[in-house]
Amino acid sequence: MITGANKIHHNAEEKTITVMTYKINELFETIQGEGSFTGQPSIFIRLQGCPVGCSWCDTKHTWDVELNDQVTPEEMLTKTEETTQWASFSVHDIFDLVREKGYRANHIVITGGEPCMVDLTPLCQLFEQEGYSTQIETSGTFEINTTEKCWVTVSPKIKMRGGYPILSSAMSRANEIKHPVATEQHVEELKSLLALHKVKDTAIYLQPISQKKRATELAIETCIANNWRLSVQVHKYIGIE
Ligand code: SF4
């Protein structure tokens, strides 16, 4: 696991506190377009780094963490297109930035990349203390370190190129499971996963991959047959990020 933690010492009291830094690719305010929070004004924090390797990934620019791609926070914030550039922020820098930008949404979505490669607890803790709700979106392939209150969306990425198995701990922590589907095989993979892992009273969403017609039809049919829910990436239909 990448911890992203730096220890600093305060000379007067010799007190050690841990300051987390996060590698951020994008930070923006929009409407959540997927799952239970669809329609909710949200501040998205997109972290850099993901080794999972989904072939249809629509954020491939977040995969690699190259030191050459590190830019200043100002440069990251003024990007006009998706790039591999990222900037390093402390927890408090992120919070101050959200305030400075005048964002009005009170829901934080931490996504990636694969955000669970780092401990998200300090980040979620600070926002929750300040009255925000928090949500993370993860592939279920890394241990989830976050607050108890944080809403966890597991989108299990099964048998992807990176070879990471789905963790039982991730499945049992999930508040919702959102599964991308395009073929019957994807549906069968989800059913096997649900049979294998203990899942609490968790909402199951199917999300058609890339808004393809056949994938959407399959998702609708399967949702009705299993009493699952449909998630259609509303943001892509209305042309927002
Ligand atoms: Fe892309 Fe998410 Fe898969 Fe990583 S886990 S490759 S970010 S879809």
pLDDT value of position 210: 77
pLDDT value of position 19: 52
54 lines ligand 1 (CB under 6 A): yes
What single-letter DSSP state applies at residue 133?
E
Pocket test for ligand 1, best of 26, 63, 110, 139 (most atoms within 8 A of CB): 139
Dist. CA 102–CA 165, nearest whole Å? 40
57 lines ligand 1 (CB under 6 A): yes
Handedness of CA 186, 171, 22, 80 (dihedral sign): positive
The structure tokens listed for 118 are 């780092």
3-state secondary structure at position 32: coil
Alpha helices in the chain (DSSP H): 73-77, 91-100, 121-129, 168-173, 184-196, 213-226, 234-237
76 lines ligand 1 (CB under 6 A): no
Q: Indicate which atom in ligand 1 lies nearest the CA of residue 141.
A: 5
Pairing of strands 176-181, 203-208: parallel
Pocket test for ligand 1, best of 46, 47, 54 (most atoms within 8 A of CB): 54
Pocket test for ligand 1, best of 111, 157, 181 (most atoms within 8 A of CB): 157
pLDDT digits (tens, 9 = 90+) for 181-201: 999 999 999 999 999 998 888
Residue located nearest, by CA, to atom 2 of ligand 1:
113
Residue located nearest, by CA, to atom 3 of ligand 1:
54
Low-confidence ranges of the chain (pLDDT < 50): 1-17
Q: Indicate which atom in ligand 1 lies nearest the CA of residue 56.
A: 8
Dist. CA 25–CA 73, nearest whole Å? 10
Dist. CA 93–CA 56, nearest whole Å? 33
Ligand 1 centroid from CA 236, angstroms: 17
Ligand 1 centroid from CA 25, angstroms: 14
Q: Indicate which atom in ligand 1 lies nearest the CA of residue 62.
A: 7
59 lines ligand 1 (CB under 6 A): yes
Angle at 229 between CA 220 and CA 33, to 5 degrees: 100
